[in-house]
Structures are given as structure tokens and as C-alpha cells.
Amino acid sequence: MQPAIRLLVLASLAVAPLIQTNTYWQHVFGVALIGAILALGLQLLVGMAGLLSLGQAAFYGIGAYISAALTMRFGVPFILAFLIAGVVTAITSLLLVPIVKLPSSSLAVATLGFNIIVYLILLNEDWATGGSFGLLDVPPPHIFGYELTTERDVYFLCLAVLVLVYLGLDRLVHSRFGRALRAISQDEDAARACGISIIRYKSKCFLVAAFTAGLAGSLYAHHARYLNPNDFTFNKSIEILIMVVVGGLGSLPGAVMGAIVIVLMPEFLRSSGELRLILFGFLVVVLMGVSRGGLAGLAPLLTQRMARLRSSASAKSAEPGEIKS
């Protein structure tokens, strides 16, 4: 739509690790991009289709473990493992088909239950997952004969995946599929009267979201190079949900923004020590109040205010005594 602006954003994300050469920050940026991919997937579920899911971390974990196991045990090349992780994760989401028709709050609790079940499987089935010790020494990603060992290389890999996922979801949202999802989220009866199969579309939506989460999981496995069930509890699901809502429901750029802010904010707040998490909580609460649409809705709000201030200021100087908001 606005290729110039997209390019600008891409360029700024692309130069970030070149300007900031500290490997720690490059690592965190990579984590933020993976978070962005996760948030994009959940945005489709929550923001577009109105499905409140608290189980996204389960898919993330499944993708991560599949990708790690394939590369470590069977020597599958990274690219293939990455894709298989996405596909298999998407297939596991079919387990949720029976519950997609539940009303929103029950669905939230049921997906939370799904997350707990997956977590317990990751924790207890040592033979497959390494149990509570997790999987160590996941190999770094190999692409076409290159081993991406530095943080910067992996960052660019994540960026490439993020761009593809973003473009893909953007296309989906602005297609017949996306319209159907939004229709379902706004009025299920009317959507059915238009010929939309609610269960099929909700299931497809979970499928796409799970695929995305699977890809993110694979990236995470080869980025962090250590997997542990504790990183895939429902707390992670809640964190992803916070990213989406903070970024702004229904907005893809918002999801990316929300993820980056939620991942980086604690890093910035670290210097505030003991109060860090309290501040974080406050920021979440305040953000929920100041803007209906999260961060994505925040900036237009600010520009409006500014414009209003400016106009009222000029009105004031022109006609003192009469101020209209």
C-alpha cells in the first residue's frame, strides 16, 4: 500500500544491529523479532477472528521442540526442519477443532488447559523432549551451506521470516479469508447467513496462527539454542496476549510494535531494579486506558491532541475568551 514507508521501516529494522553492535542487544533484538512473529500469529486469532486464546505458547513450544529434535537427532537441514516445524505445529492445532465453537471466555480457559497439557507432555516425556532438563546445544541455523553463528546473522534470519510472515498475514487479512474472520468476530449469525462456516474458519484461523507460532518456535530453538519446558507455560501465552493487546487489537503493525515494546521494556526498566515489574504492570494498565487501540491507536491520539492544542492555542490568540474543543 505504502511501499516507501514499508521500506523505511524495513531499513530501520535492518540497520538496527549494524548501529548497535553489542551482541547482547543484538540477541535481545532477535528475541523481540521472534516475539513479533508470535504476536502476529495471535493477532490473527484475537484481533481478527475475536478468538481469545491463552494457549499460543503451546504451539510455540511444539514448533521449537520439533525443529530442535529434527536437526539434532535426524540431521535434518535447518530450512527443512523450520518448515516441518511450522506444518506439524499447524496440524496439531487440529486438536482444537472440537473446542473452537465455545464461547469466548470458555475458549480462553480451554486453550489455557491445552497449554497446560502440552507443557506437561514436554515436561514428562523425557525420551522425546529431554524432560525438565530440556534440550541443550541446539545447532545454529544452517542456510545453503552457511552457518549463522553470530547474533547478527540470526537477527537477519528472524527479520527475513518476520517480513515474510507480515506480508503473508497482511495479504490474508485483506482477502476473502480475512474478511470472513472479521465477519465472524463481529457477528457470528450474520456471518453464517453469508455462507461462512464458523467452525471451519475458526479452525483455519487456529491453523494459520499455529503455523506462525511453529515457525517462531523453530527460530527460537536455533536462536537461544537451549529449550526448556518452562519457557512454554501459559505465562508465555499471556505475555504474547499482552503484546497483542498493548500493540493494538486488529492491527498487524501494532502486533509487531507491541512485541518489540514488551520484550525491550523490561530491559530498559532493569535499572529500576526492585520496582521493575511494578512499573511494568503500571505501564500495561495505563496503556490499556489511554488508548483504545493500544500503541497502534496511541499515536493518532497524540497527533489529534497536538493538533487540537495547536488550534485551540491559535484560536485563543485570535479570539480570546472563546475556546472550543
Which residue in this structure is represented by grid cell 546473522? Answer: 153
Query: For helices 234-247 and 252-269, what crossing angle results, to 10°?
Result: 110
> Judged by CB, which is closer to another protein: 137, or 322?
137
N-terminal to C-terminal alpha carbon distance within the chain: 33
Q: How far is the CB of 146 from another protein (least distance, A)?
A: 18
Q: Grid coordinates representing 162?
A: 518476520
> Judged by CB, which is closer to another protein: 273, or 320?
273
> Judged by CB, which is closer to another protein: 274, or 322?
274
Q: How far is the CB of 283 from another protein (least distance, A)?
A: 8
> Judged by CB, which is closer to another protein: 11, or 313?
11
Q: How far is the CB of 160 from another protein (least distance, A)?
A: 16
> Judged by CB, which is closer to another protein: 286, or 315?
286
CA distances from 254 to 154, 177, 246 (A): 23, 20, 8
Q: How far is the CB of 74 from another protein (least distance, A)?
A: 21
CB atoms within 10 A of CB 47: 28
Residues with Cβ within 8 Å of 90's Cβ and at least 6 positions away in sequence, in order, are 207, 208, 210, 211, 214
Q: How far is the CB of 42 from another protein (least distance, A)?
A: 12
Distance CA 227, CA 102 (A): 32
Q: Output phi, psi for 143, to 5 deg.
A: -130, 120
